[in-house]
């Protein structure tokens, strides 16, 4: 029975896939109707790439879709929670966080739920290594008591006591090193961990910041909105960048080692910066649904954006979309469990 | 075969078809925090029989084919004449299209089924997940999205902005109070829909929507909007946080500029809490 479901999902989700490599970098659809919204993508390359998401209150199991270079496989998540984010230190060490304080771990064979210190939504996860992993979250409509940072030391997840809690939900965490970690959240809050403690960093804005990422300690980016907010930190503080196009809310950003940047937002907003520094506003390329996250291979030759109708309130049935930018799209082969 | 089109700036992108299934935003009015369902607002192109419309740039044939419906050779937008379904149609009807009160129809889906009910003379759709197959839920078939926005010009085209209801479109009244909903990341959003009039109304348009008010920064965003008989589904517009949080509802001007058709603006009264959701 399960096999039938996965097959059905695959037929629906992959109906638009492409297998013919383009001659030059271009956008091409990957998924356009998964039965759950897609929220995050992670992997070292197209040969080891995860897409995650879920129903966000609508019925359905958490989405965990893996591409191994040859085929896509939907991995049984074993939970009705939604995976908000995914990060791994390697192919056999991948962490998933999400609603209800869910934390899961992929060991190369299956996703196993880990003991979590919270029931708050965990929106983001990143680690400096397998034994040094951070997750952040909270309640965007709460009064601050459920907003938190948690840490994994290789054996246990525990809540971090902040000297000066910001009182807002935190959405994402990313670091250039174990002693150079950033977290962003509502109302322009940015926190920095220097290896000893978390402290506030002046973002200069009051808009909600949804994602932080970077390529190095001197190339860190954050996005948010509304209004659309694109921040850059070259090591000396945060600066607001000019927007290369129209948008209201920016949700995700990915950065390549060569200076490439991929920004996504509501209504299919896709801003792409090439290594030369030139920006391109490609909102007019499908998909047009809200996009939540972007992924770039380290060499920036391959990019991916994911999203769906995650902004619609919970009663809505969810749909997930993904699109690829580059010259060698991922395979369109689906292998169910 | 899918058409190959030149991208606006870079190389080409592969248009595709056969899977252009949209999603649904449905909204029930009258709640302080509005919630959405598949039921009310669905529409889109699942049963459209519009010609692919190369001349008009209409994007409908592709969606019709995606729904397993013959696009037809030269048909206008279907069901724009107010026909009422008296019995269960052979294929999924548009949610919000007219039906006989009390009619209930079930349609198979690879991941469950769709149950259509007609409590108030219009179809409401509800996806039913298969309880025996965890993770298997019907993928929404209705959406605002479409793939080939209209690139032409409509002479005498009109644009109106109205509330999201299960009834026929009506324009907003000046400074009408609108509800808001809150997304999963805490962003407040107002919902509205548009109606496009004129000869040769397309099924897919590109628009720029703008929210402006003395208490927030003016923000414009691009959209691609599917139209059914000229009407859109629900459109969500993110409301900025205002600092300080206003004590009273504030008037926001919503402008919708539809490419090749026209522009409309309306003043809406937005509850104070929408400007500071979670921080009131």
User: A309 CB near a chain B CB, below 8 Å?
Assistant: yes
B269, part of any domain? yes
Considering only CB atoms, B10 lies closest to which of A1, A26, A123, namely A26
User: A144 CB near a chain B CB, below 8 Å?
Assistant: no
Cβ neighbours of B142 (radius 10 Å): 29
For B14-54, write each residue's pLDDT tens digit.
222 222 222 222 222 222 222 223 322 332 222 222 222 22
**Calpha distance A204→B66 (Å, rounded):** 47
Question: How much is the pLDDT for B56?
Answer: 26
Domains in chain A, CATH or no CATH each:
37-326 (2.130.10.10)
Q: What is the widest separation between alpha-carbon atoms in chain B? A: 57
Question: How much is the pLDDT for B221?
Answer: 95
Instruction: Note whether B236 contacts A5, CB cutoff 8 Å.
Output: no
Q: How close, in Å, is residue A283 to chain B by CA atoms? A: 8
Task: Locate A124 and state its tokens.
Answer: 């983001």
* All residues at 6 or more sequence positions from A151 whose CB lies less than 8 Å from its CB, including other chains: A132, A133, A134, A135, A157, A158, A160
Answer for the pair A272, A325: CB distance below 8 angstroms, yes or no.
yes
**Calpha distance B99→B87 (Å, rounded):** 8
Report the number of distinct structural domains present in chain B: 1
Instruction: Note whether B11 contacts A280, CB cutoff 8 Å.
Output: no
**Calpha distance A34→A49 (Å, rounded):** 16
Question: How much is the pLDDT for A23?
Answer: 67
User: By CB neighbour count within 10 A (0-12 exposed, 13-18 middle, 19+ buried), where does A329 fall?
Assistant: buried
Do the bridges between strand B104-109 and strand B158-162 make them parallel or antiparallel, or are there none, so unpaired? unpaired
Residues of A in contact with B7 (CB under 8 A): 26-27, 282, 285
Q: How close, in Å, is residue A44 to chain B by CA atoms? A: 25
Question: How much is the pLDDT for A67?
Answer: 96
Nearest-CA neighbor of B44 among A264, A270, A266, A288? Answer: A288
Question: How much is the pLDDT for B17?
Answer: 22
In 3-state terms chain B splits into helix, strand, coil percentages (rounded to 5) of 5, 35, 60
Instruction: Kindly state the DSSP code that residue B92 receives in the 8-state scheme.
Output: P
Q: Identify the residue among A2, A3, A4, A5 best suited for mutation to test binding to B, counting B beta carbons within 10 A and taking the highest.
A: A5
Instruction: Note whether A18 contacts B139, CB cutoff 8 Å.
Output: no
Instruction: Note whether A35 contacts B208, CB cutoff 8 Å.
Output: no
B73, part of any domain? no
Q: Which residue stretches of chain B have pLDDT < 50?
A: 1-79, 280
Residue of A nearest to B112 (CA): A5
- The residue segments making up the domain with residue B257 are 158-275
B241, part of any domain? yes
Instruction: Note whether B140 contacts A318, CB cutoff 8 Å.
Output: yes
Q: Identify the residue among B57, B186, B234 best suited for mutation to test binding to A, counting A beta carbons within 10 A and taking the highest.
A: B186
Question: How much is the pLDDT for B83?
Answer: 76
B216, part of any domain? yes
**Calpha distance A185→A310 (Å, rounded):** 18
Instruction: Note whether A61 contacts B189, CB cutoff 8 Å.
Output: no
Torsion of Cα atoms, B83 then B84 then B87 then B93, to 10°: 70
Q: Residue B227's domain is classified under what CATH number?
A: 2.60.40
User: By CB neighbour count within 10 A (0-12 exposed, 13-18 middle, 19+ buried), where does B174 fall?
Assistant: exposed
Residue of B nearest to A8 (CA): B110
Residues of B in contact with A24 (CB under 8 A): 10-12
Instruction: Kindly state the DSSP code that residue A223 receives in the 8-state scheme.
Output: E
Q: What is the interface size between A and B, counted as CB pairs within 8 Å?
A: 233
> pTM of the prediction?
0.82
**Calpha distance A16→B45 (Å, rounded):** 17
Residues of B in contact with A282 (CB under 8 A): 7-10
User: By CB neighbour count within 10 A (0-12 exposed, 13-18 middle, 19+ buried), where does A107 fall?
Assistant: exposed
Instruction: Note whether A317 contacts B278, CB cutoff 8 Å.
Output: no
* All residues at 6 or more sequence positions from A145 whose CB lies less than 8 Å from its CB, including other chains: none
Residue of A nearest to B2 (CA): A16
Task: Locate B209 and state its tokens.
Answer: 């929507």
User: A59 CB near a chain B CB, below 8 Å?
Assistant: yes
Torsion of Cα atoms, B228 then B231 then B234 then B237, to 10°: 130
Q: In what order do the strands lie in the sheet with A238-240?
A: A209-216, A219-224, A229-233, A238-240
Question: pLDDT of chain A along its 337 residues, tens only?
Answer: 333 334 334 334 443 344 555 468 999 999 988 888 999 999 999 999 999 999 998 878 899 999 999 999 999 999 999 999 999 999 999 999 999 999 999 999 999 999 999 999 999 999 999 999 999 999 998 888 889 999 999 999 999 999 999 999 999 999 999 999 999 999 999 999 999 999 999 999 999 999 999 999 999 999 999 999 999 999 999 999 999 999 999 999 999 999 999 999 999 999 999 999 999 999 999 999 999 999 999 888 999 999 998 988 765 678 899 999 999 988 877 765 4
Q: Identify the residue among A244, A313, A318 best suited for mutation to test binding to B, counting B beta carbons within 10 A and taking the highest.
A: A313
């Amino acid at each position: 029975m399960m096999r039938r479901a996965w097959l059905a999902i695959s037929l629906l989700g992959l109906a638009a896939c492409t297998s013919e490599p383009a001659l030059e970098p271009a956008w091409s659809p990957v998924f356009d109707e998964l039965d759950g919204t897609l929220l995050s993508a992670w992997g070292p390359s197209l040969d080891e790439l995860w897409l995650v998401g879920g129903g966000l209150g609508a019925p359905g199991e958490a989405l965990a879709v893996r591409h191994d270079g040859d085929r896509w496989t939907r991995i049984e998540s074993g939970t009705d929670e939604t995976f908000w984010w995914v990060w791994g230190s390697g192919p056999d060490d991948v962490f998933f966080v999400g609603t209800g304080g869910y934390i899961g771990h992929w060991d190369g064979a299956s996703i196993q739920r880990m003991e979590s210190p919270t029931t708050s939504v965990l929106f983001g996860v990143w680690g400096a290594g397998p034994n040094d992993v951070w997750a952040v979250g909270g309640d965007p409509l709460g009064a601050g008591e459920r907003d938190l940072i948690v840490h994994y030391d290789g054996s246990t997840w525990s809540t971090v006591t902040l000297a000066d809690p910001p009182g807002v939900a935190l959405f994402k965490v990313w670091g250039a090193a174990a002693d150079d970690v950033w977290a962003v959240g509502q109302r322009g809050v940015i926190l920095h961990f220097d290896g000893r403690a978390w402290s506030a960093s002046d973002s200069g804005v009051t808009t909600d910041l949804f994602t932080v990422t970077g390529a190095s300690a001197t190339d860190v980016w954050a996005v948010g909105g509304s209004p659309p907010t694109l921040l850059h930190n070259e090591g000396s503080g945060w600066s607001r960048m000019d927007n290369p196009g129209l948008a209201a809310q920016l949700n995700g950003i990915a950065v390549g080692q060569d200076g490439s940047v991929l920004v996504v937002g509501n209504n299919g907003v896709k801003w792409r910066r090439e290594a030369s520094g030139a920006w391109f506003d490609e909102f007019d390329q499908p998909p047009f649904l809200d996009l939540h996250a972007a992924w770039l291979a380290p060499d920036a030759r391959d990019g991916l954006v994911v999203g769906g109708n995650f902004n619609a309130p919970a009663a809505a049935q969810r749909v997930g979309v993904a699109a690829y930018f580059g010259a060698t799209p991922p395979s369109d082969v689906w292998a169910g469990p | 075969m899918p058409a190959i089109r030149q991208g606006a700036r870079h190389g080409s992108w592969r248009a595709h078809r056969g899977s252009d299934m949209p999603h649904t935003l449905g909204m029930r009015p009258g709640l302080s925090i509005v919630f959405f369902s598949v039921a009310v607002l669905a529409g889109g192109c699942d049963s459209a029989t519009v010609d692919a419309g190369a001349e008009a740039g209409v994007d409908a044939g592709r969606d019709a084919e995606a729904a397993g419906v013959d696009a037809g050779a030269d048909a206008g937008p279907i069901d724009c004449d107010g026909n009422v379904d008296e019995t269960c149609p052979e294929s999924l009807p548009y949610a919000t299209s007219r039906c006989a009160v009390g009619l209930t129809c079930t349609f198979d889906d690879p991941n469950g089924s769709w149950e259509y009910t007609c409590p108030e003379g219009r179809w409401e759709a509800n996806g039913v997940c298969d309880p025996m197959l965890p993770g298997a839920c019907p993928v929404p078939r209705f959406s605002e999205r479409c793939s080939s926005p209209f690139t032409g010009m409509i002479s005498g085209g009109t644009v109106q902005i109205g509330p999201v209801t299960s009834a026929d479109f009506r324009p907003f009244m000046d400074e009408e109070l609108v509800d808001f909903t809150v997304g999963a990341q805490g962003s407040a959003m107002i919902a509205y829909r548009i109606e496009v009039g004129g000869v040769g109304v397309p099924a897919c348009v590109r628009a720029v929507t703008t929210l402006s008010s003395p208490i927030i920064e003016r923000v414009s965003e691009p959209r691609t909007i599917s139209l059914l008989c000229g009407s859109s589904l629900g459109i969500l517009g993110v409301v900025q946080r205002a600092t300080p949080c206003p004590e009273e509802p504030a008037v926001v001007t919503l402008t919708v500029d539809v490419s090749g058709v026209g522009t409309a603006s309306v003043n809406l009264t937005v509850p104070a809490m929408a400007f500071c959701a979670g921080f009131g």
